[in-house]
Chains A and B, each alone.
Chain A
Amino acid sequence: MALLRPSSRTRRRGADGDRIWTWLMLPGTLWMTGFLIASLALVAVLAVGTTDDLGNPRFGFDLSGVRALADPAYTEVLARSLGYALLTCAICLLIAYPVAYTIALHGGRYKHALIAAIVVPFFANYLVRMYGWSVVLSDDGPVLRALRAVGLADANTKILNTGVGVVAGLVYGFVVFMIIPLYAALERLDVSLIEAGRDLYGGPVRTFFFVTLPATRQGAAAGLVLVFLPSMGDFVSAQLMGGPDQIMIGNLIQDKFFQGQNWPLGSALTMLLMLVLLVGMLGYLRRTRKDEAEARR
């Protein structure tokens, strides 16, 4: 049958060919627009709105929420969040490079198993992992006991309830985001480049800084973004591992929505967080675009 009317079939295929893909795409896109894009827009609107006596959002134009952001109490928290998130990025990079390098270049046939062994615990419940980590770092937990045994800590040294604890929590939570892109980049790295570096009498350190690091820069950049995003928005680490004086912007947002019931201020803080992350993302995109332009030349 089909052979008997090939022309009509071809025509029909061209016509409804594209339509069916649009129809398939539509439900998901509409769903996401309705539930996600609209809700993000709502946060932006409420940031300049108010609430009634019962706490329900009321729309209008009121800048008190935005103006409150200038309060030194909030700028301090924002600065601390930025500091902790950037520190987390740096530490994750320092940890992830040797680990990803060892697995990618010296892992041999255990490579995939080792990477799986890093990824799998990451999929375990975040809260349970964090809770376990807080027990490990607690005052009579194994880490401090080991440090005391070798004389690196005394009886008064604390990790929990300090900034160190918060950053340790963030690193533990998100280091996998750094390892995976770095591993992918190192896996792809042409080993003969390293050998060439050695042939030219570059020591291991020089070869690393002049050959390996530049060649895997994109993986590191992707990892930095992937760690920075969740670190900046996290509120569990500061709550479990830090004290009340270690709160981050995530804790403030949570507080404004649940305890303080100040939704406009909470929304303004959320928009501020988004703004910081957007700046980070744009920086990353500009960097990679520059890299790509150079690669093309």
Chain B
Amino acid sequence: MTLLKLPSATAASRPALRPRARGRRGRAGRKPRVLVAVTALFFALLYLPIAVVTLFSFNSKKSPTVFGGFSLRWYRAFVHDDVLISSLGTSLRISLVAMAGSVVLGVALALGLVRCRTRLGPLAGLIMLVPLITPEIVTGVASMLLFKGLGVDLSTGTVMLAEITFSISYVTVILRSRVAALNPEVEEAAMDLGATRWQAVRLVTLPALLPAVLASAVLIFALVFDDFVLAYFTTGVDPQPLSVRIYSAIRFGVQPTINAVGTLMLVGSVCLIALALFIPRLFGRRGGLDILSGE
């Protein structure tokens, strides 16, 4: 995303550009009814599909558009559906492994990218950006071909490898600005007190990065759990990830159980995102959306 030069630029440049007059209601502060109405309509349409999925997950009928009364039958159907439950387990395993792998590799990469002064730095930075500007279908096809070309059978393991590859970039983007904001003199001070370079990184730098590391870990877990395209191209026949199952289900018509699964996934994602936003605050830092945008 850095390549795209989002105009949010740096946090430091913001306060200067925001004049105090903003708080007062100047001429630009009159509430234009049309704009507010358009925005309200946008929010209604944004949440309507989510509301529909949630509502019809409690439908006692099978219809996707007629609500017959409250019932938990589709949740019960999900719990007793062995295929879906084993897919849920597969998705959880993939997310955990991808989270661990990409956080370790991504944090190290972010540290190296910011501090390294050799010629390898810019090249590594460029490679890291590739997944962010490549559509998922291309990376999905490419991963599948790589595994097939190497003679590896597609399985849960290949999904894990592919997901790690594409999550590294997210971790690195999120952490890069945090590393850049750290004062390297603190590390120097630690070394003046007798720490080795490695000890300084381990005992001083990493703890300072901990909130951002945890937030990115939670975010990666949510993203990988919900990911469909990559999983679709790299999964084998063993219990497929949940999103791949959902895809085959909705392709062949209405499946009310999917409403229940979808609602549970929505609740799960929202909780994880809220957690990711909240983590920096736990550590007494201004948290929030900047975690999501990597700024």
Contacts and interface: CB of A to CB of B under 8 A. Distances in A.
A34 to B, nearest CB: 9
B197 A106 contact: no
Contact of B243 (A1, A16, A125): A125
A21 B17 CA distance: 35
Given A180-B293, A191-B21, A132 B8 contact: no
Contacts of A124: 50, 226, 265-266, 269-270
A83 B91 CA distance: 35
A28 B108 contact: yes
A121 interface: yes
Contact of B105 (A21, A31, A273): A31
Given A2-B194, A115-B289, A181-B6, A36 B131 contact: yes
Interface residues of A, number: 108
Nearest to B26: A195
B80 interface: no
Contacts of B288: 112, 116
A112 B289 contact: yes
A57 B149 contact: yes
A95 B42 contact: yes
A192 B198 contact: no
A105 interface: yes
Query: Which has the most chain B C-beta neighbours within 10 Å: A127, A270, A284?
Result: A127
A33 B127 contact: yes
Contact of B112 (A26, A191, A263, A288): A26
Contacts of B144: 257
B210 interface: no
Interface stretch (A65-73, A147-155, A226-234): A226-234
Given A106-B36, A121-B50, A191 B141 contact: no
B64 A57 contact: no
B171 to A, nearest CB: 9
A28 B128 contact: yes
Nearest to B5: A288
Given A25-B113, A102-B35, A273 B64 contact: no
Contact of A42 (B39, B106, B149, B265): B149
Given A27-B108, A132-B50, A277 B135 contact: yes
Nearest to A42: B145
Contacts of A165: none
B193 A36 contact: no
A123 B9 CA distance: 23
B217 to A, nearest CB: 15
A185 B53 contact: no
Interface string B50-65: 1011001000000011
Contacts of A266: 141
A135 interface: yes
Nearest to B148: A57
Contact of A128 (B188, B198, B246): B246
Contacts, number: 315
Contacts of B115: 21
Interface string B1-33: 000111111000110011101100011110110
Contact of A39 (B39, B53, B136, B146): B146
A29 to B, nearest CB: 4
Contacts of A267: 141, 145
A184 B116 contact: no
A131 B105 contact: no
Interface of B: 4-9, 13-14, 17-19, 21-22, 26-29, 31-32, 34-36, 38-39, 42-43, 45-50, 52-53, 56, 64-65, 105-106, 108-109, 111-113, 115-118, 120-121, 123-124, 127-128, 130-131, 133-139, 141-146, 148-149, 161-162, 164-166, 168-169, 172, 188, 191-194, 197-198, 201, 222-223, 226, 228, 233, 243, 246-247, 250-251, 258, 261-262, 265-266, 269-270, 273-274, 277, 288-289, 292-293
27 contacts: A20-B198, A21-B111, A21-B116, A25-B109, A25-B120, A38-B146, A39-B145, A57-B145, A102-B36, A106-B29, A106-B31, A119-B273, A119-B292, A120-B270, A121-B50, A135-B49, A135-B53, A138-B64, A143-B48, A180-B293, A184-B8, A185-B7, A191-B19, A222-B6, A222-B7, A253-B141, A263-B145
Given A31-B168, A181-B8, 11 more contacts: A24-B108, A31-B164, A33-B127, A39-B146, A43-B142, A124-B266, A127-B246, A143-B48, A185-B7, A233-B137, A288-B5
Q: Which 10 interchain pairs have the tightest Cβ spacing?
A: A233-B135, A25-B112, A132-B49, A28-B109, A128-B262, A39-B146, A39-B142, A184-B8, A24-B112, A21-B116
